[in-house]
Amino acid sequence: MKPFAILANGQALPLAAIPVLEFAKFRRAVIQGVSEDLRLACLCADRSLAGYAVLADEAAHEFRVLRTTFPPVFPSLTPECSQAHLFERELAEQWGLVPEGHPWFKPLRFHPPWSGKDAWQRDAIEPGVMDFYRVEGEAIHEVAVGPVHAGVIEPGHFRFQCHGEQVFHLEIALGYQHRGIERALEGGPYKLTVKMMETAAGDTTIGHAWASALALEALSGTRVPARADWIRAIALELERVANHTGDLGALSGDVGFLPTASYCGRLRGDWLNLTAQLCGSRLGRDLVKPGGTRFDLEPARIADLLLRMEEMARDTANAVELLFATPSVLARFEGIGKLDPHMAKEVGLVGPAARACGRLGDVRIDFPYGPYSDSELPSTVEETGDIAARARVRWAEIQASVAFLRGALDALAELPAGPVSAVCGALAPEHLALGVVEGWRGEVVHLAITNADGRLCRYKVVDPSFHNWTGLAIAMRGEEISDFPLCNKSFNLSYCGFDL
Minimum CB distance to another protein smaller for 57 or for 154: 154
Of the pair 266, 406, the CB lying nearest another protein is at 266
Q: Which residues ranging from 410 to 439 are in contact with another protein (CB under 8 A)?
A: none
CA distance 261 to 253: 5
The nearer residue to another protein, 150 or 452, going by C-beta atoms, is 150
H or E stretch covering 11: strand 11-14
The nearer residue to another protein, 181 or 400, going by C-beta atoms, is 181
**Minimum distance from residue 337 beta carbon to another protein (Å):** 22
Residue 251 Cβ, how far from another protein at the closest point, in Å? 15
Give the CA-trace dihedral at 40, 41, 44, 50, to 10 degrees: -80
Closer by beta carbon to another protein, 85 or else 289: 289
DSSP run (H or E) holding 168:
strand 166-173
At closest approach, how far in Å is the CB of 345 from another protein? 28
- Residue type for position 312: M
Residue 334 is a binding residue for another protein (CB under 8 A): no
What is the contact mask toward another protein in residues 137 to 176, using x (rule: CB under 8 A)? ----------xx-xxxxxx-------------------xx
127 binds another protein (CB under 8 A): yes
Binding mask 284-313 for another protein (x = CB under 8 A): -xx-------xx------------------
| Nearest-approach distance from CB 180 to another protein, in angstroms | 4
Which residues have C-beta within 8 Å of that of residue 44, sequence separation ≥ 6? 51, 52, 87, 90, 91, 447, 458, 460
Q: How near is the Cβ of 205 to another protein at its closest, in Å? A: 8
Closest CB to another protein among residues 30, 200: 200
Give least dist CB 381 to another protein, A.
Answer: 28
Cα 428 to the center of its chain, rounded Å: 27
Taking the C-alpha atoms of residue 474 and residue 324, their distance in angstroms, rounded to an integer, is 26
State the virtual CA torsion across 237, 243, 248, 253 in degrees, nearest 10. 160
- Stretch touching another protein by CB under 8 A, among 14-22, 195-203, 210-218, 473-481: 195-203
Comparison of 2 and 191: residue with beta carbon closer to another protein: 191
Among 85, 178, 244, 359, binds another protein (CB under 8 A): 178
Minimal distance, residue 149 CB to another protein, in Å: 8
Annotate 14-68 with three-state secondary structure.
EHHHCCEECHHHHHHHHHHHHHCCCEEEEEEECCCCEEEEEEEECCCCEEEEEEE
Which CB sits closer to another protein, 44 or 261?
261
Identify any residues that bridge with 13 across adjacent strands, giving them in sequence order.
432
When the beta carbons of 160 and 263 are compared against another protein, the nearer one is 263
247-286 mask for another protein (x: CB under 8 A)? ------------x--xx-xx-xxx-xx--xxxxxxxx-xx
Our CB check for another protein shows the closer of 57 and 118 to be 118
Q: Is the peptide bond before 71 cis (omega within 30 degrees of 0)?
A: no
Distance (Å, whole) CA 230 – CA 237: 11
Please report the beta strands in 202-336, taking only residues with DSSP state E, as ranges in sequence order.
Answer: 288-289, 292-293
Q: Which of 1, 139, 325, 417 binds another protein (CB under 8 A)?
A: 325
Task: Tell me which DSSP letter residue 427 carries.
Answer: P
How many residues belong to the chain?
500
Q: In 372-406, which positions are buried (b, 16+ CB within 10 angstroms) versus exposed (e)?
A: beebebeebbbebbbbbbbbbbbbbbbbbbbbbbe
* Residues facing 169 on adjacent strands: 161
Residue 4 in contact with another protein, rule: CB under 8 A: no
Stretch that binds another protein, among 24-32, 74-82, 96-104, 322-330 (CB under 8 A): 322-330
Among residues 448, 423, 21, which one has the least CA distance to residue 225? 423
3-state SS record for 145-166? ECCCCCCCCCCCEEEEEEECCE
Nearer residue to another protein within complex by CB, 61 or 117:
117
CA atoms within 13 A on the CB side of 477: 11
Taking the least distance from each CB to another protein, the nearer of 18 and 86 is: 86
**Residue 95 near another protein by CB under 8 A:** no
Asked if 184 touches another protein (CB under 8 A), the answer is yes
Q: Is 338 exposed, middle or buried (0-12, 13-18, 19+ CB in 10 A)?
A: buried
> Which of 26, 74, 87, 110 is in the footprint of another protein by CB under 8 A?
110
Q: How far is the CB of 108 from another protein (least distance, A)?
A: 12
Q: Could you tell me how many helices (H) and strands (E) the chain has, helices first? A: 16, 16
Residue closer to another protein by CB (options 156, 348) is 156
Q: Which of 180, 341, 407, 429 binds another protein (CB under 8 A)?
A: 180
CA 140, CA 79: separation in Å to the nearest integer? Answer: 28
Q: Is 315 in the site for another protein (CB under 8 A)?
A: yes
DSSP state of 291: T
Candidates 197-205, 383-391, 396-404, 478-486 — which segment interacts with another protein by CB under 8 A?
Answer: 197-205
CA distance to 20, 45, 154, 459, per residue, from 176 (Å):
36, 23, 9, 21
Q: In the complex, which residues of this chain contact another protein (CB under 8 A)?
A: 109-111, 127, 147-148, 150-155, 175-180, 184, 191-192, 194-196, 198-203, 205, 259, 262-263, 265-266, 268-270, 272-273, 276-283, 285-286, 294-295, 315, 318-319, 322, 325-326, 494-496
